[in-house]
Amino acid sequence: MQSTPLLRLGTRGSMLAMAQARLVQRLLAEAHGVALEDIAIRVITTSGDRLTDRPLSEAGGKGLFSKEIEAALEAGEIDLGVHSSKDLASFLPDGLMLAAFLEREDVRDAFVSLKHASLEALPQGAKLGSSSIRRGAQMLRARPDLEIVQFRGNVDTRLQKLEAGVADATLLAVAGLNRLGKQDKITAYLDPQAFPPAPAQGAIGIEIRSDDTRTAELVAVLNHAPTATSIAAERALLATLDGSCRTPIGAFTELNGVSCRLTAEILSPDGREFYRDSVEGEAAEAARLGTELGQRLLEAAGPEFQKQFEG
């Protein structure tokens, strides 16, 4: 009987984060023929979890849901961090790497309302709850009459806010609702071509220390190559745009055998100004395609557009 676990996994404590961590725990235990308890789960409270009084974009942007987990990794307190890949900063801390991705869930956003069947069906001036500036910008582009109201909290909290009438509708990631078994809450699905989701949305990423070859070998069995290809493209795009929570960025990757097509857009927060483009090439060149598309978008938008996100 092992006195120490085979692996120590770090995660946030939300219901969705725990569902994702338990999935990784089960898959690792099955892959290596060990008991569930041999893949230990450590719950780590992050800055994003503590911040409930204002939008994430005002408090440092991306990385707020991962930096404490990354600190535990760097300190050797855990062997791997399990993340919603869309929450990770554009650049990982030195000495850390994304070693594996589980097969990607549905990337789309869900329109959720207790009273209205779709975005188009919302009455003039309706309130749409979202703390994502990408979602807010995309909604205002489609429906400039809408009022965007701040909507922080986990899935259940947001659903409760809908019931309380804080907003007429909200948007949630389909992947999260699926993983929580709450597909029945989805009123309508948004077309990812018209409303590209957040880069890396729907993908569970496993982060480890770059020099930890033992853990790298143990988690490699979980890596889903097509997902890794898509995320390589989208994270390269993000890094080129230096995407933070302040910059509304949408991205959608389509893989077809050995080819990869990446579509992305950047928007002004009010949705009035946006730039969209696509690139296509070999899947093996996914990261290069992401970089190329990011550069194209920056060139099209120009420095004046970018200045609104500085500071």
**How far is the CA of 286 from the CAs of 139, 263, 296, 304, in angstroms?**
29, 12, 15, 29
Task: Report the greatest alpha carbon distance in the chain.
Answer: 64
Q: Catalytic residue numbers?
A: 87
Instruction: Give the bridge partners for 111, in sequence order.
Output: 171, 188
DSSP letter for each residue of 226-254: HHHHHHHHHHHHHHHHT--TTS-EEEEEE
For 52, half-sphere exposure in the C-beta direction (CA atoms, 13 angstrom radius) is 7
Distance separating alpha carbons of residues 69 and 50, to the nearest angstrom: 14
b/e per residue 191-203 (b: at least 16 CB within 10 A): ebeebbbbbbbbb
